Amino acid sequence: MSDTWAPVSFERTNGKTPLIVVCEHASKEIPPEFSELGLKSQHRASHAVWDIGALSMAREISAALDAPLVFGGVSRLLYDCNRPPEAHDCIPEKSEVVNVPGNVGLDPAYRKARALLIHDPFHKAVEGLIDAQMQRLGCPIAVVTIHTFTPIYHGKPREVELGFLFDENEELSRAACRLEEKRGVYRAALNQPYAAADGVTYTLLRHADDRGLPSTMVEVRNDLVDTHDKASCVGKHLAETILQSVNEILPTREIAV
């Protein structure tokens, strides 16, 4: 029955590593009751709808590190799970150059309904997974979120290939970025191509910073991960960086995989 949809999914919830992987923009699914949000067909699989390659990378990292994964089940255009319900762009009427007719002039009750059906179960599940992982391991854990960005934004090419973003807790992002610079494979930078000031750190703040847990938001340029094989390759690379940087930050729980 293809009419079924899930706001959130898990993998590997018994993973042995003090770390969880989160992928808010994993899915391009738009359930039938939302009538494709009126999108033009050429935009239906675009970056506006999801983070191309992000779920494939997140799965690779989760598998390589034996870390639990939690990911969103529907398009960010329905509800952007990396935004709080009070943010106007949690249900965008336009995303870069893509108009989203199904989101224009929505009744407040319909906006609220989207948050209740998508945001609330998703974040309850992220919270549950973090609590479950700490319960089972008896120690603090790190939170790593996986995103991708477009190589060209409003006509301007982006040179950066990997970004490590932070809000109140910079430690893990700095460790990961230092390691990437040392490895010299990709052009990495802190807080690129976005930063906390762009309102993109809701998940980090809510689930990590506010709880005193180390975290980083990883952003990968999507031309590097636009096939499954490319995404697996970058995912494996990132797993190594995440492993080493988490071991630096949470040294009492050295991860051996």
Applying CB under 8 A, which residues contact its own copies? 1, 3-14, 31, 33-34, 59, 73, 109-110, 112-113, 116-117, 120-121, 124-125, 127-129, 131-133, 135-136, 138
Measured from the CB atom, the residue of 118 and 162 that comes closer to its own copies is 118
3-state SS track over 90-130: HCCCEECCEECHHHCCCCHHHHHHHHHHHHHHHHHHHHHHH
Measured from the CB atom, the residue of 10 and 153 that comes closer to its own copies is 10
Measured from the CB atom, the residue of 116 and 185 that comes closer to its own copies is 116
Tell me the C-alpha distance between 188 and 101, whole Å: 36
Three-state DSSP class for residue 27 = coil
Ramachandran angles phi, psi of 77, nearest 5°: -70, -25
CB of 111 to its own copies, least distance (A): 9
- Label residue 138 left, alpha or beta by phi (over 0 means left) and psi (-120 to 50 means alpha): left
Taking the CA atoms of residue 61, residue 65, residue 70 and residue 74 in that order, the dihedral angle to the nearest 10 degrees is 20
Measured from the CB atom, the residue of 104 and 152 that comes closer to its own copies is 104
Question: How many CB atoms within 10 Å of residue 23?
Answer: 27
CB of 9 to its own copies, least distance (A): 5
Measured from the CB atom, the residue of 57 and 175 that comes closer to its own copies is 57
CB of 147 to its own copies, least distance (A): 19
DSSP class of residue 138? T
DSSP class of residue 210? G
CB of 204 to its own copies, least distance (A): 20
CB of 228 to its own copies, least distance (A): 11
